[in-house]
Homo-oligomer: A and B are copies of this chain.
């Protein structure tokens, strides 16, 4: 099969990769219906993370093509959604809701789902079947559930979003935008999106942002304080992963408030004394998307949420390199690759 390989920063090609096969009795092989490029794929693309000849992609929806001998909960022909971490969903860490830290976890990114076929380890724990074959127009939303929606949802929960709350979202990429949607669904009364790009501000509004703030850094913090009686917000999502965005998130949070952070922190170093005196709660990391999948699939299936509108560019897999360029240059929020 032909799949996406990143040979070096900026060098993305679609080329022959060889077909995957069942290796373990707990594996499934799926025929990928749609896949996508993640904001985190831009770190190696930009040379911030090292990369050499790596198969790419970790988000996927598709139809089960073959299962290993021990697979019980999904069967050939099922339409499935999985998280970007394969997890057994039975270990103590999984049972506590942290499947992205499963003791047997496998990063799907190491297998590369930007391809027509993908091997999914620990299929019973990882994959969730939809109630039937989805209508074509539901596929983008189901694909979003595989990472960006689940990650945004986790971030909103980690930030303490709930009924009547004010939630600030730092970061207007796909995860930040879907954290806005999640915050609203979790009952937030007010959702303040930090964004200065006209197209993303508009998307933020459609996902439920009640306020949009264009300022960043200290000015952004000052603006949030103005909007929150001078105290800072009780709930703040961080969905970027830079020193500036982390400090902006922490400083926008009132004492006792919660920061939910899901931006992979590159070069971030948190000053202990400032963190101490901030009095905030800090929680985040790789999102345990599997925890949320059943609920998210139901919300999408019942057309209660439409996270798929976060995809603003669709390309065939063969043109993946164009998709990387578009996201790198911020011409696209999120690229859907059809297979």
Which A residues lie at the B interface, using CB under 8 A? Answer: 92-93, 96-98, 100-101, 103, 229-231, 234, 241, 243, 246, 254-256, 261, 264-273, 275-286, 288
A97 to B319 alpha-carbon distance, docked (Å): 54
**Chain multiplicity (copies):** 2
A sample of 25 inter-chain contacts (CB < 8 A) reads A92-B229, A92-B231, A93-B255, A93-B256, A96-B256, A97-B256, A98-B255, A100-B255, A246-B272, A261-B276, A264-B276, A265-B276, A266-B272, A267-B272, A268-B273, A268-B276, A269-B269, A270-B270, A270-B272, A276-B285, A276-B286, A280-B283, A280-B285, A281-B282, A281-B283
By a CB distance below 8 angstroms, the chain B residues around A243 are 272
Q: Are A273 and B265 in contact, with the CB atoms below 8 A?
A: yes
Q: Are A279 and B285 in contact, with the CB atoms below 8 A?
A: yes
Q: Are B256 and A101 in contact, with the CB atoms below 8 A?
A: yes
For the complex formed, measure the closest distance between the CB of A258 and the CB atoms of chain B, giving whole angstroms. Answer: 9
Q: Are A231 and B103 in contact, with the CB atoms below 8 A?
A: yes
For the complex formed, measure the closest distance between the CB of A67 and the CB atoms of chain B, giving whole angstroms. Answer: 28
By a CB distance below 8 angstroms, the chain B residues around A266 are 272-273
Q: Are A264 and B256 in contact, with the CB atoms below 8 A?
A: no
